[in-house]
């Protein structure tokens, strides 16, 4: 796949990271028995003007959300299902003895603060310095200080590799490790995805795992004819955070086994709809283009 010629703008904190926090905030405001995921800290990473607008002009805010839902049918539900699936996977990995967590493209991920059992596990958060410095500032405002078990590792995946920096921060390659890439692979070049997967296979303990999400390659290169695919692609170009990487349809298993992973699991929108969308959520659309995948290092 040719690498994107579209301009990438990472001078400011990632708008997409803020957008993901907004999805989590919106879902978390619902009653406990209606929400798909819960992140009580997402609010700290959203421009307060957006929240004030929602309070002062609830009808207009609702109309704006509905307009976005028409352009990106089901995407918001797929994003909150992703949060829930990755949370459940993290909990299960802790049950199975994970000793280290590396969150790549962490953005405003708050798992290190909201998943109680992670407080006994070292968490490395890797992200672009311009997003990460904003996050650290907000974490300090919300919690007083950054917690000791969380290590922040600033890296631009387009310009540098993260391995050496992780080791310098105390990462141990013999430990059983979970690597999370949530909302990341599509935003970085194919080589950065490949280098990351190679690092994981070559530098983590037996039974380590990776979990990530992806779009089909046709969404990224613009050949997918679905309207939502074009809308996602064009919107991200406008935002300065263009899609750069996707995986060929039905090829996830080949893709990951070539790197040396085993036990590859592909999770489709049908799978996560069936797992999480019941009762009042039964009729919510999800986006068929967003897939999750996980695999193990033997």
Ligand X SMILES: C[S@@+](CC[C@H](N)C(=O)[O-])C[C@H]1O[C@@H](n2cnc3c(N)ncnc32)[C@H](O)[C@@H]1O
Q: Rule CB under 6 A: which residues touch ligand X?
A: 14, 16-17, 20, 105-109, 127-128, 131, 155-158, 182-184, 187-188
Instruction: Give me the residues paired with residue 104 across strands.
Output: 126, 181
Give me the least distance between CB of 103 and ligand X, in Å please.
7
Residue 78: partners with Cβ closer than 8 Å, 6 or more residues away: 269, 272, 286, 287, 290
Give me the least distance between CB of 76 and ligand X, in Å please.
13
Question: Token match 């919690």: residue?
Answer: 143
Alpha-carbon gap, residue 82 to 90, rounded angstroms: 12
Concatenating the DSSP letter of every residue in 31-64 gives -TTT-S---TTGGGGS-HHHHHHHHH-HHHHHHH
CB half-sphere exposure, 219, CA atoms < 13 A: 25
Q: Which residue is nearest to ligand X (CB)?
A: 107
**Closer residue to ligand X, CB minimum distance, 169 or 253:** 169
**Closer residue to ligand X, CB minimum distance, 108 or 261:** 108
**Closer residue to ligand X, CB minimum distance, 174 or 239:** 239
Give me the least distance between CB of 271 and ligand X, in Å please.
19
**Closer residue to ligand X, CB minimum distance, 171 or 207:** 171
Give me the least distance between CB of 42 and ligand X, in Å please.
9
Alpha-carbon gap, residue 73 to 135, rounded angstroms: 29
Give me the least distance between CB of 212 and ligand X, in Å please.
10
């Amino acid at each position: 796949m040719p690498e994107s010629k579209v301009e990438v703008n990472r001078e400011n904190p990632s708008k997409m990271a803020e957008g993901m926090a907004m999805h989590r905030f919106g879902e978390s405001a619902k009653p406990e028995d209606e929400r798909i995921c819960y992140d009580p800290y997402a609010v700290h990473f959203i421009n307060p003007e957006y929240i004030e607008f929602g309070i002062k002009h609830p009808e207009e805010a609702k109309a704006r959300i509905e307009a976005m839902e028409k352009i990106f049918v089901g995407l918001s539900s797929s994003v909150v299902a992703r949060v829930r699936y990755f949370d459940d996977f993290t909990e299960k990995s802790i049950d199975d003895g994970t000793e280290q967590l590396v969150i790549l493209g962490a953005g405003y991920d708050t798992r290190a603060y909201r998943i109680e059992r992670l407080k006994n596990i070292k968490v490395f958060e890797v992200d672009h310095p311009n997003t990460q410095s904003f996050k650290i500032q907000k974490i300090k405002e919300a919690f007083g200080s950054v917690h000791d078990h969380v290590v922040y590792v600033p890296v631009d995946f387009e310009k540098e590799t993260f391995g050496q920096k992780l080791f310098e921060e105390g990462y141990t390659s013999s430990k059983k490790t979970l690597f999370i890439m949530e909302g990341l692979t599509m935003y970085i070049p194919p080589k950065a995805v490949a280098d990351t997967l190679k690092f994981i296979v070559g530098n983590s303990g037996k039974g380590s795992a990776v979990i990530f999400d992806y779009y089909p390659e046709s969404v990224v290169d613009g050949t997918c004819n679905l309207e939502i695919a074009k809308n996602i692609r064009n919107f991200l170009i406008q935002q300065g955070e263009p899609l750069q990487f996707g995986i060929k349809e039905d090829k996830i298993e080949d893709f990951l086994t070539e790197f040396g992973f085993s036990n590859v699991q592909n999770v489709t929108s049908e799978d996560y709809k069936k797992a999480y969308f019941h009762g009042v959520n039964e009729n919510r659309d999800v986006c068929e283009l967003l897939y999750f995948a996980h695999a193990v290092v033997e």
